[in-house]
Amino acid sequence: MISLKKLLGKEEKFYDLLEASAEEARSSTGLLAKILANDSAAQASSIHDIIQTRRKDKRITQQITEELCKTFVTPFEREDIEALSLALYRIPKTVEKIVERLTICPARVPRDSMQRQVVLLEEAVESVVFMVKELRKGTQIERIQDAHSRLQFAEGEADKVMLALVKDLYNGPYDAKEVVILMELYDLVETAVDRARDAGQVVFQIMLKYS
């Protein structure tokens, strides 16, 4: 595959910004895993760090938009850069929503159950980070395909876990209010996995265009 940089210009800043955004997504999911591990000493600082991660990623997203407005040559199509930027930002934004819900009802949350979801979320985001970094290299499509397959597998496994969690809710010792609260939490984690899938899909489509 011809390097995207050689084909469409040498603008490194978009690669830098997109990779930074992907790293913020990875950071937010790692912090969420810490919170669910119930490390009380680190929990308060982790919640604060997640909020800061989302804010930092928002600034990166805004910077990408600004750079698109004043840059003539971009490494790939502007619409694709915008789509990937937005998809990446939605990951830490969704993670922050999860943490907000956790702070409201921390005591009754079955953390072990949520941890199974979050492990798969971390795997999905790791695949996205790898795929975003491959854009700079103009690598062969096979490496992106492998990462995309791992991402799809993580999403599929997350769907299975979600089904098991819903079954447990309907048959477990929860009152109606708790079922509603926990269902929303599980849905939000599943949404975060879907956000990672969306970001990976944008990268995959970009690579297909120039392979």
Q: pLDDT averaged over the chain?
A: 87
Report whether pLDDT(24) > 60: yes
Q: What's the number of domains the chain is made of?
A: 1
CA distance 104 to 141: 44
Please check whether residue 133 lies inside any domain of the structure.
Answer: yes
Please check whether residue 45 lies inside any domain of the structure.
Answer: yes
Q: How confident is the model at residue 46 (pLDDT cuts 50, 70, 90)?
A: confident
Taking residues 107-134, report their average pLDDT: 89
Please check whether residue 52 lies inside any domain of the structure.
Answer: yes
Taking residues 119-123, report their average pLDDT: 96
The answer to whether the CB of 200 falls within 8 A of the CB of 151 is yes
For residue 76, give the DSSP letter: S
Rounded alpha-carbon distances, angstroms, from residue 98 to 35, 91, 93: 11, 11, 9
Distance, C-alpha 155 to centroid of its chain = 12
Segment 124-138, tens digit of pLDDT: 999 999 999 999 887
Please check whether residue 79 lies inside any domain of the structure.
Answer: yes
Report whether pLDDT(47) > 50: yes
Taking residues 146-153, report their average pLDDT: 94
Query: Domain containing 172 — which CATH number?
Result: 1.20.58.220
The verdict on pTM exceeding 0.85 is yes
CA distance 95 to 35: 11
> What pLDDT score was predicted for residue 6?
47
Pairwise pLDDT comparison (17 vs 179), residue with the higher score: 17
Containing structural domain, residue 194: 9-210
> What pLDDT score was predicted for residue 186?
92
The answer to whether the CB of 76 falls within 8 A of the CB of 206 is yes
Going by C-beta distance under 8 Å and a sequence separation of 6 or more, which residues neighbour residue 110?
168, 182
Q: How confident is the model at residue 39 (pLDDT cuts 50, 70, 90)?
A: low
Please check whether residue 4 lies inside any domain of the structure.
Answer: no
Please check whether residue 2 lies inside any domain of the structure.
Answer: no
Rounded alpha-carbon distances, angstroms, from residue 173 to 38, 110, 115, 179: 22, 12, 20, 10
Segment 63-98, tens digit of pLDDT: 999 998 888 778 888 999 999 999 999 999 999 999
> How many other CB atoms sit within 10 Å of the CB of residue 48?
12
Please check whether residue 37 lies inside any domain of the structure.
Answer: yes
